[in-house]
Structure 1
Amino acid sequence: MEYRKLGNSGTIVTSYCLGTMTFGAEADETTSHLILDDYVEAGGNFIDTANVYSLGVSEEIVGRWLKARPEAASQVVLATKGRFPMGAGPNDIGLSRKHLNRALEDSLRRLGVEQIDLYQMHAWDALTPIEETLRFLDDAVSAGKIAYYGFSNYLGWQVTKAVHVAKANHWSAPVTLQPQYNLLVRDIEHEIVPACLDAGMGLLPWSPLGGGWLAGKYQRDVMPSGATRLGENPNRGMESFGPRNAQERTWQIIDAVAEIAKDRGASAAQVALAWVEARPAVTSVILGARTREQLADNLGASKVKLSAEETDKLTRISMPQMSDYPYGERGVSQRFRKMEGGR
C-alpha cells in the first residue's frame, strides 16, 4: 500500500483504511480480530470506527485488539466518529458541546486510549451553531484528547463554512472528509471534492464498492439472495435493488469494470477500488470487509494500477448525470470556462 498524508496534516496513513462497521454485527469478535491482524500484516496502519457502530461494540472490539497487541497499536492511526444517538435523551445526539464531550469520553474509554488520532463529526447538525462544535474540537485538540478532526457526510458549503469559521477564530482546522464515493455514486465531484481540494482536506471514501454492486455480486433483474448484504436483508434489498437495477448506467459501469478485471486477471472489486484510490484528493479508501477472504481480495487492489486508457473508460462511462444548469454544457460553469479560454 502507498503512504499518503492524512489530508493537510503531517501524519502518514496507508492508501487503504480498514473500516469496522461490520464488527459486532456481521463479524464476531474473533473474526474481527483476525481481520485486524491480516490488515496490519499486509502493511495497513489506518483503522476507522464510530461510536454508533453496533452501539459501541465495534469500538470495544477494536479497543481489546489494541490492548492485546501493543506493538501494532503503537503504529496504528485510529479514527472514530460522534454525532448520532447513543441514548434516548434529547442531548444524546448532535454536535453540541454537551453531547460531544460525553461521546468523546465514552469513545476514549471503549477504545482504551488516551488520544484519538482522527475524531470525525458523523454528519451535519443544523441545530448546533458551527462555532460551538468547532470550539469544542479545538479545545479537544489542545487537551490532547484528539490529534485532528474531520467530517463525514458534509455538503460542500458546510465544509467551506467550517473551514473559514475555524480560520477566522484561529482554531484547529479540519483535515479530512469521509463521503460516499464510488463509480456508481460520483455526485460529490460537483461541489464537495472542489471544496476539499480548496481547503487541502483529504477524502476518505466509504462504500467504495457501492454496497457490493461493483464487486460483481448482483445480476440484472435478479433479486439478491444468499451471502450478500442485500440477500441477507430482504427489506433493504427491496428498497435499494430495484432503483439501481432499473438504471442502464448501473449495468454499463458493472460490465466495464468486469471487462477490465478479466483482461487484467484481477477481481472486479480490485478494479473498482483502484479507480477510487487514484481520484483527486483521496487520502485513503475505507474497506468494509465482513470476512478475511473479502479483505484479502480488497487489499489486492493496492497492486492494481489502472492505465490512463482504463481510467478514462471507467470515468467516462460512470459520468454522473448533470442538469444543464449550472453544471451542464449550457450551464454557467461551462460558459465561464469557455470565456476564460478553456481554463
Structure 2
Amino acid sequence: MDYTHLGRTGLRVSRLVLGTMNFGELTDEATSFVIMDEALDAGINIFDTADVYGGPQKPDRAKGYGISEEIIGRWLAQGGGRRDRIALATKVYQPMETGPNDKYLSAYHIRRACEASLKRLQTDHIDLYQMHHVDRATPWEEVWQAMEQLIREGKITYVGSSNFAGWDIATAQMTAAHRNGLGLASEQSLYNLTQRTVELEVIPALRHFGIGLIPWSPIGMGLLGGVLKKAEGGRRGSPALQQQIEAKRSQLEAYESLCDQIGETPANVALAWLLHNPVVTAAISGPRTVEQLRANLKAPEVKLAEETLAKLDEIWPGPGGEAPVAYAW
C-alpha cells in the first residue's frame, strides 16, 4: 500500500480510505469486522465513518443513527493494537435527534456530537473530525472556537470538511489563519469521472491552501464499476440506477471497452484516475462485501498512460478546466 500526507499535515495515510457507510445497513456486523481486519492487514490505515451512518436497525431508535460508529467501536474494543494502527475519521452536522440543536455546526451541537461519537466508537480521540456539510448560519469564529476546544482537550486531532464550495473553503481557512490555526486538513467532495464539477473551483482552492481531497462516490454509485456486464449477468440495480445506465449507455460502453483494452477492471480504473490527480490524498473504498474490498486493493498500483487519460477525458468530459477560464476569456 502506498502512503501520502493528508494535505499539508504531517499525517501519512494510505491512498485508499476504508469507507464504512454500508456497515449496519447493507453489511452486517460480522462481515464488517472481516472487512476491517482485511483492510488493516492490507495496509489501509484510515477508516472513515459518520455519526449518521448505519441506517435504522434498532426498534428503539427513531432514526437508528450511530450504528456504523458502534460497529467500529466494538471492532476496536477487541484490542490487538487496532486503534493505534488507524487514523479514525468521523463527521458531524446531520440531525441525530429531533431537537432544534441536535444538528448543524453550533458550538453546542459540535461538543455534544463529539462526545456521543467518542462513546459509540469506544475511543478517547478522533483523528479527523469532519464537518459533513457547511453551516452558513453559524459564524466561523464559533465553529473554530468549538473545534479548537476539542483539540485542546485531546478529543480530536485534525479538522476536515465535506461538501464545501470553494468559497466556503477559502472563508474557513482565512478565519482559521486569523486565529493562528491550521484550519482544514482535508475536504471530502463528490468526485468521479461522471461528476467533475469540483474541478471548477473546489480543487483549485484545495491546491492553493494545501488541503487534501478525499473523493466520495469514486465509482459513481456503481456506474463506473462495470455495471453493463453486471446487468447482463442478471444483477439488476435500483430503478434510479437503471435510468442512469440508459442515459449514459454510450459512454459506459466506451468506458468498459477501454478498460477491457488496458486489462483493468472499471472500478480500479475509476479509482486510479482519481489518484492520478496530485490534489487527491486518497479515494474512499466503501465495500459492501469482502470481495469488493479485495478487488479495490489493486487500484493504487494501477498506472494510467497519458493516452488512456486523454481517452477518459473524451468519454467523460469535465467542465472545461478551472474557473473562470473554463467559461470566460
TM-score, length of structure 2 as denominator length: 0.91
2:6 matches 1:6: yes
What are the equivalent positions in structure 2 for 1:44-55 lying under 5 Å apart? 44-54=44-54, 55=65
When structure 1 is superposed on structure 2, of 114-123 and 131-140 the one drifting more is 131-140
When structure 1 is superposed on structure 2, of 295-304 and 5-14 the one drifting more is 295-304
**1:36 matched residue in structure 2:** 36
Q: Distance in 2 between matches of 1:305 and 1:96?
A: 43
Identity %: 40
What are the equivalent positions in structure 2 for 1:1-343 lying under 5 Å apart? 1-54=1-54, 55-218=65-228, 230-231=237-238, 237-238=239-240, 241-242=242-243, 244-245=244-245, 247=247, 250-321=248-319, 326-328=324-326, 331-332=327-328, 335=329
Paired residue secondary structure (2:296): helix
Instruction: Note the alpha carbon deviations across 1:80-113, whole angstroms, 9 max, x for none.
Output: 0010000000000010001110000011111111
Contact 1:86/1:92, CA 8 A, preserved across alignment? yes
For the structure 1 residues 163 and 241, does the alpha-carbon distance in structure 2 shift closer, same or farther, using more than 3 Å as the test?
A: farther
For the structure 1 residues 171 and 285, does the alpha-carbon distance in structure 2 shift closer, same or farther, using more than 3 Å as the test?
A: same
State the AA in 2 paired with 1:17: V
Aligned length: 318
1:254 Cα shift? 2.4
For the structure 1 residues 88 and 14, does the alpha-carbon distance in structure 2 shift closer, same or farther, using more than 3 Å as the test?
A: same
Contact 1:187/1:320, CA 8 A, preserved across alignment? yes
Q: Where do 5+ consecutive residues of structure 1 fail to align?
A: 232-236, 336-343
Q: Distance in 2 between matches of 1:167 and 1:225?
A: 54
Q: Distance in 1 between matches of 2:141 and 2:242?
A: 40
For the structure 1 residues 320 and 97, does the alpha-carbon distance in structure 2 shift closer, same or farther, using more than 3 Å as the test?
A: same
1:135 Cα shift? 1.4
Contact 2:207/2:279, CA 8 A, preserved across alignment? yes
State the AA in 1 paired with 2:116: D
State the AA in 2 paired with 1:107: S
Q: Distance in 2 between matches of 1:37 and 1:138?
A: 33
Deviating above 6 A after TM superposition, structure 1's stretches of 4 or more consecutive aligned residues are none
Contact 1:257/1:271, CA 8 A, preserved across alignment? no
1:305 Cα shift? 1.1
When structure 1 is superposed on structure 2, of 202-211 and 132-141 the one drifting more is 132-141
Contact 1:18/1:286, CA 8 A, preserved across alignment? yes
Contact 2:22/2:288, CA 8 A, preserved across alignment? yes
Paired residue secondary structure (1:119): strand
1:241 Cα shift? 4.4
State the AA in 1 paired with 2:205: A
Paired residue secondary structure (1:78): strand
Q: Distance in 2 between matches of 1:187 and 1:141?
A: 33
1:115 Cα shift? 1.0
When structure 1 is superposed on structure 2, of 188-197 and 265-274 the one drifting more is 265-274
State the AA in 1 paired with 2:125: Q
**Two-structure CA RMSD over aligned residues (Å):** 2.2
When structure 1 is superposed on structure 2, of 208-217 and 309-318 the one drifting more is 309-318
Q: Distance in 1 between matches of 2:185 and 2:88?
A: 14
State the AA in 1 paired with 2:79: R
1:41 Cα shift? 1.3
When structure 1 is superposed on structure 2, of 295-304 and 211-220 the one drifting more is 211-220
Q: Distance in 1 between matches of 2:40 and 2:250?
A: 35
Instruction: Note the alpha carbon deviations across 1:254-297, whole angstroms, 9 max, x for none.
Output: 23432232123321111111111111310010011100111111
Paired residue secondary structure (1:203): strand
Contact 2:213/2:282, CA 8 A, preserved across alignment? yes
When structure 1 is superposed on structure 2, of 101-110 and 252-261 the one drifting more is 252-261
Contact 2:8/2:185, CA 8 A, preserved across alignment? yes
**2:61 matched residue in structure 1:** none
Contact 1:120/1:150, CA 8 A, preserved across alignment? yes
**1:234 matched residue in structure 2:** none
For the structure 1 residues 69 and 217, does the alpha-carbon distance in structure 2 shift closer, same or farther, using more than 3 Å as the test?
A: farther
Larger % of helix: which?
Answer: 1
Q: Distance in 2 between matches of 1:203 and 1:140?
A: 23
Q: Where do 5+ consecutive residues of structure 2 fail to align?
A: 55-64
Contact 1:183/1:253, CA 8 A, preserved across alignment? no
Contact 2:223/2:245, CA 8 A, preserved across alignment? no
Contact 1:182/1:207, CA 8 A, preserved across alignment? yes
